[in-house]
Amino acid sequence: MKRFIGFIKKEFYHIFRDRRSLFILFGMPIAQILLFGFAITNEINNVDIAILDHSKDATTEEIINKISASKYFTINQMIAREADIETAFKKGKIKAVLNFEKDFSKNLIKEQKATIQIITDATDPNTANSITNYINAILQNYQQSKNKGIVVEYQIIPQTRMVYNPELKSVFMFVPGVMTIILMLVSAMMTSISITREKELGTMEILLVSPLKPFQVIIGKVVPYIFLSVINAAVIVLLSIFIFKMPVQGSLFLLGAESVLFIITSLALGILISTIAETQQSAMMISLMGLMLPVILLSGFIFPITSMAAPLQIISHIIPAKWFIIIIKGIMLKGVGMAYIWKETLILIGMTIFFIGLSVKKYKIRLE
Amino acid sequence: MKKENVIVAEELTKAFGDFKAVNAISFEVKKGEIFGFLGANGAGKTTAMKMLIGISKPSSGKAKVAGFDVYTQTESIKKNIGYMSQKFALYDDLTVKENITFFGGIYGLSRAKIKEKREQLISELGLEGISNKLVGSLPLGWKQKLSFSVSLIHEPKIVFLDEPTGGVDPITRRQFWEMIYKAADQGTTIFVTTHYMDEAEYCDRVSIMVEGKIEALDTPKKLKEQFKVASMNDVFLKLARNIEL
């Protein structure tokens, strides 16, 4: 035990004396969570649009006023001719153009219908979609207010309610994802790098020749990172609670326990990587390509799994991060307990055991 | 007076597929002896050494180190040997003191013993002024001397040195060998690989490995007589050339 404490102390010296790893350990989580929370967002806010109004009558003016009054859009310019639409888009500032047909009010009264063309810049398809939806909603709303008092024979009025995140804050979606990425990064990448560093420097050989058993060496290398990852997880949760007002509906204890489980899963992956990689650089590359990319792309963090192609959906099952994101979203936003997430928890436990088993086997082969 | 054997190898072999990196080598090393393990790069020195220090399993043959079997008693072997690898292997980002404390710790030395050893080591190496400096800032020669001292910290019966003097200047090499002699005088057996042939002259006995086999084994003096040459360098060249022919 005393040997072990000495070993861990040495590991902390390594971490605290290396500015690079200190930065990855403590700078990155805070920078990432703030970045995702403030800068990167799916929400529509103050989007610049242009208006091409062929009729310039009372109705179009009302609609234009309504749109410009919303916080979602800013009317950046009025366009006079069809030919100018393209120029407006090419300048890049305008994301949508509303094109009112000629004699808008007149058509509305005479024929009970009038047309607005919504042209959006679809170089960014998601934003284009949201813009169209938002404008449609504003128009619907306007129409309903106009139709008040008129009896329409059939009318379906959808009442939507967004539960668990009523304000549709994208930070609620990012926090679980960022937390997953950071825990993965710190646990898997940092441990695999620190183990391969000993290999590269030749100190691993010295340690293996010492009376320390190989598993003691590995545990000794891993324990400090468990400790640091737990601190990181706590910092992220605190930041999201106090800065982004993200609620933790469920039990904090359960959240902590599940985080520790995921940290251990990631560490097991890190150990596995270190049995494959011979140099720090290759450990880093494998961690980034093999862990980070799938976490970002396939875990459901940014892109919904249900809209992925079938083979990708299957692949997403083997990504531990996917299960962890489901778990923390459940605990933080829905306030669920173990009864709802036992399946995901078991999957993570199973994966951890599998990774550890595989590393032990690989390690033995290397020693033969 | 006949001294006991601390290393005994019989037909020790390590094969990787069809390739025999170490091909049935047999030798004994006596207590307190400085045993030179020579060979060109790739002759199988390091592989043979790894089997003796218990981090690589032999394919066949027998070997005992410090009285323990290399197949079944590697744990006991590890407690009784010291090892210094060809790569310099202390931690650059730890201070001199911290390195000594750490390695003393993993060999299970008591706190008092570590303190005593640490002070003794630092004064012997004349590192008093810089014992709180990071090892990374020391010149290579000092690092290697420190590394050797650290490999002796738990007073092992045998110390294995894998090309310990690679890349250092002749003066430091000379000082390094003085440290080796001193350790040998105190009864520590030294098993050293090198490809500096002048260093071979400092050894009590040398073995020369060529392509996985031990082609010659005796005192430097007898080897020179046997091959009728003036230096170990010529012995080595003659042997290597014979194999090629």
What pLDDT, on a 0 to 100 scale, did the predictor assign at position A350? 97
DSSP-assigned letters across all residues of B55-104: SS--SEEEEEETTEETTT-HHHHHHHEEEE-SS--S-TTSBHHHHHHHHH
Helix axes of B232-244 and B220-227: crossing angle, nearest 10 degrees: 50
Q: Does residue B2 have a pLDDT over 70?
A: no
Vertex A205 angle, CA A222 and A207, to 5°: 50
What pLDDT, on a 0 to 100 scale, did the predictor assign at position B240? 74
Decide: A30 and A237 in contact? Cβ < 8 Å. Answer: no
From A214's Cα to the closest Cα of chain B, the distance in A is 10
- Per residue in A174-189, pLDDT (tens digit) is 888 888 988 888 889 9
Which residues are within 8 A (CB) of B92 and not within 5 positions of it... i.e. 6 or more apart? A201, B134, B135, B136
DSSP B134: B
Q: Which of A277-281, B61-65, B112-116, B166-170 has the lowest mean pLDDT?
A: B166-170
- CA neighbours closer than 13 Å in the CB half-sphere of residue A39: 6
What is the Cα–Cα distance from B159 to A50, expressed in whole angstroms? 82
A304 C-beta neighbours (distance < 10 Å), count: 8
Decide: A142 and A62 in contact? Cβ < 8 Å. Answer: yes
Going by C-alpha positions, the residue among B240, B193, B213, B215 that lies closest to residue B24 is: B213
Residue ranges of E strands in A80-163: 96-100, 116-120
Q: Does residue A44 have a pLDDT over 80?
A: no
What pLDDT, on a 0 to 100 scale, did the predictor assign at position A193? 92
What pLDDT, on a 0 to 100 scale, did the predictor assign at position A366? 61
**B79 in A contact zone (CB under 8 Å):** yes
Burial A54-85 (b: 16+ CB within 10 A, else e): ebebebbeebbeebeeeebbeeebebeeeeeb
Indicate the domain borders of chain B: 1-80+158-165+187-245
Question: In the predicted model, what is the mean pLDDT of chain B?
Answer: 90
Domains of chain A: 2-39+171-362 (no CATH), 47-163 (3.40.1710.10)
**B80 in A contact zone (CB under 8 Å):** no
Helices (H) and strands (E) in chain A, counts: 17, 4
What is the Cα–Cα distance from A38 to A34, expressed in whole angstroms? 6
What pLDDT, on a 0 to 100 scale, did the predictor assign at position B22? 93
Q: Token pair for residue A38?
A: 């403030």
What pLDDT, on a 0 to 100 scale, did the predictor assign at position B69? 95
CATH code, B1-80+158-165+187-245? 3.40.50.300
- Per residue in A70-124, pLDDT (tens digit) is 888 999 889 988 888 998 898 888 999 999 999 988 988 888 888 999 999 988 8
Q: Does residue A160 have a pLDDT over 60?
A: yes
- Residues of chain B positioned with their CB less than 8 A from the CB of A206: 83-85, 89, 103
Q: Point out the residue among A202, A367, A368 whose CB comes nearest to the CB of B89.
A: A202
What pLDDT, on a 0 to 100 scale, did the predictor assign at position A362? 83
Vertex A143 angle, CA A142 and A145, to 5°: 65
What is the Cα–Cα distance from A265 to A338, expressed in whole angstroms? 19
From B28's Cα to the closest Cα of chain A, the distance in A is 21
Q: Which residue of A has its CA nearest to B84?
A: A206
Question: Distance between alpha carbon B73 and the CA centroid of its chain, in Å?
Answer: 20
Residue A159 burial (10 A CB sphere; 0-12, 13-18, 19+): exposed
- Residues of chain B positioned with their CB less than 8 A from the CB of A205: 55, 83, 85, 87, 89
Q: Does residue A50 have a pLDDT over 90?
A: yes
Q: Give the SS3 label for residue A87.
A: helix
Chain-chain contact of A206 with B79 (C-beta, under 8 angstroms): no
Chain A residues 211-230 with a CB less than 8 Å from chain B: 211-213
Which residues are within 8 A (CB) of A5 and not within 5 positions of it... i.e. 6 or more apart? none
Q: Give the SS3 label for residue B210.
A: strand
Q: Does residue B157 have a pLDDT over 70?
A: yes
What pLDDT, on a 0 to 100 scale, did the predictor assign at position A319? 92
- Per residue in B197-228, pLDDT (tens digit) is 888 889 999 999 988 999 889 999 999 999 88
Q: Which of A127-141, A143-157, A311-325 has the lowest mean pLDDT?
A: A143-157
What pLDDT, on a 0 to 100 scale, did the predictor assign at position B205? 94
Decide: A59 and A104 in contact? Cβ < 8 Å. Answer: yes
Q: Does residue A368 have a pLDDT over 60?
A: no
Q: Token pair for residue A117?
A: 């063309």
Q: Point out the residue among B78, B89, B90 whose CB comes nearest to the CB of A205.
A: B89
What is the Cα–Cα distance from A57 to A35, expressed in whole angstroms? 44
Q: Point out the residue among B56, B75, B93 whose CB comes nearest to the CB of A18.
A: B93
B234 C-beta neighbours (distance < 10 Å), count: 15
Chain-chain contact of A211 with B89 (C-beta, under 8 angstroms): no
- Confidence grade of residue A251 (pLDDT, cut at 50, 70, 90): very high
Q: Token pair for residue B84?
A: 């210094």
Q: What is the mean pLDDT of residues A218-230?
A: 91
What pLDDT, on a 0 to 100 scale, did the predictor assign at position A172? 84
- Confidence grade of residue A42 (pLDDT, cut at 50, 70, 90): low
> What percentage of chain A has pLDDT greater than the value 90?
39
A192 C-beta neighbours (distance < 10 Å), count: 28
Going by C-alpha positions, the residue among A115, A141, A134 that lies closest to residue A47 is: A134
Q: Give the SS3 label for residue B178.
A: helix
Q: Which residue of B has its CA nearest to A12?
A: B94
- CA neighbours closer than 13 Å in the CB half-sphere of residue B47: 26
**B89 in A contact zone (CB under 8 Å):** yes
Instruction: State the pTM of this model.
Output: 0.82
What is the Cα–Cα distance from A328 to A248, expressed in whole angstroms? 9
Chain-chain contact of A17 with B105 (C-beta, under 8 angstroms): no
Q: Does residue B238 have a pLDDT over 90?
A: no
Q: Point out the residue among A9, A206, A213 whose CB comes nearest to the CB of B83.
A: A206
**B17 in A contact zone (CB under 8 Å):** no
